[in-house]
Amino acid sequence: MLKKTLLVTVSLAVSLSAQTGPHLAARLSPVPLWPQNGDVSHLPNGHYVFYDPPSGEYVVYYAESTDTSIAAGPVVLRFGTHALVDPTITTVITSNGKGAIHYAYEVSNGTYSRQAIQRISLLVASDSSLRASQPNWTSSLGNSNGSDITAPRADLSTVDWVSNTPAQTIAPGRKLSGFLVDSILLPGFTTMLFRGATQSQEYSPEAIASLPSDIRDQITRVFTAAWDVKSRLVLGPRFLKGAPQSDIAQNFLLGIQSLIRERQLDSNAPFVQSVVTLLSAQLESGGPVVINPNGIAFDKAKPGLESTVANALQIALAE
């Protein structure tokens, strides 16, 4: 019998990072699981939306009411999720020393992903001069309903890249570079969102318009950024020049701590240890935050993600 609680689904997709080996990613389903044996007699009361892991689809199931004596058959609708991707990002940030900062991203999709990546969104702070590009994808700027990990009420925008054709998506086991952003914004930790290409029916408000309101509410809740896309913590355009160093310290500290929890950074590495110690002490002092770069072992940063974080922090403090 299905329990009336959130059930844990374990993705068989292997999540690969630049700093660690493969690991299985566990994820909560926002709705009960669809019975694989087809027995719907024990579905939990009050639930009309279910997740079907083998197909990667959300199933809407309910008995349609009727005013006649003839019982109406059940309504069954299926909509494909877009979160069955496994992105890894390589970031290169450079400054020309004159206020312009260049962000370049290469995105890989894990070998065991079930979908190709067809849309990428990067949360950024507001910058009217920001320019984004990718040679074979359409680039645009939009509004964001997402929140920053260090400032939930921050007014963020998005840089959106969308593949022009199915052949230009990032298929499982493939990678694509050339996702570029030029901005005056200093680097900080932010979020990149990835949407996979589904072969199932696409969800839309129009497709569920005729459903009862309580059922519409349930299916609408699962097709949100929290469940219908995959997210990754990245470095990107985050702060205006002259931003308080307390904001920069908080952002980098929380970002680094998140990467440590994800085992992408080693808490005992000299660079990581020095930056966490210094930023923590500054934020806990209760006084004005003035970050002294000399207290951070930038020269000890290892190649890869450590060096990327160290370079971003140096740029943020130098401007």
What is the model's pTM? 0.83
With a cut of 60, say whether residue 280 has pLDDT above it: yes
Dihedral pair phi/psi, residue 278, rounded to 5°: -70, -45
Average of per-residue pLDDT across 247-267: 94
What pLDDT, on a 0 to 100 scale, did the predictor assign at position 71?
53
Q: What angle do CA 66, 71, 76 make, to 5 degrees?
A: 80
Instruction: Among 61-65, 103-107, 245-249, name the one with the lowest average pLDDT.
Output: 61-65
Using DSSP's 3-state secondary structure scheme, residue 226 falls into helix
What's the pLDDT tens digit per position in 169-216?
999 999 999 999 999 999 999 999 999 999 999 988 899 988 889 999
- Beta carbons within 10 angstroms of residue 280's beta carbon: 13
- pLDDT of res. 103: 97
| Residue 14, pLDDT score | 28
φ, ψ for residue 208 (rounded to 5)?
Answer: -115, 10
* pLDDT class of 13 with cuts at 50, 70, 90: very low
Mean local confidence (pLDDT), 283-299 = 86
Reported as a pLDDT band with limits 50, 70 and 90, residue 9 is very low
Confidence check: pLDDT of 81 > 60: yes
| Token code pair at residue 15 | 């999540």
Res 16: pLDDT: 28
Least confident range of 147-156, 207-216, 251-260:
147-156
Are 258 and 145 a contacting pair, CB within 8 Å?
A: no
**What number is the average pLDDT over the span 133-159?**
77
> Would you give the distance in Å from CA 182 to the centre of its chain?
21
Please give the average per-residue pLDDT across 37-53, as a whole number.
88
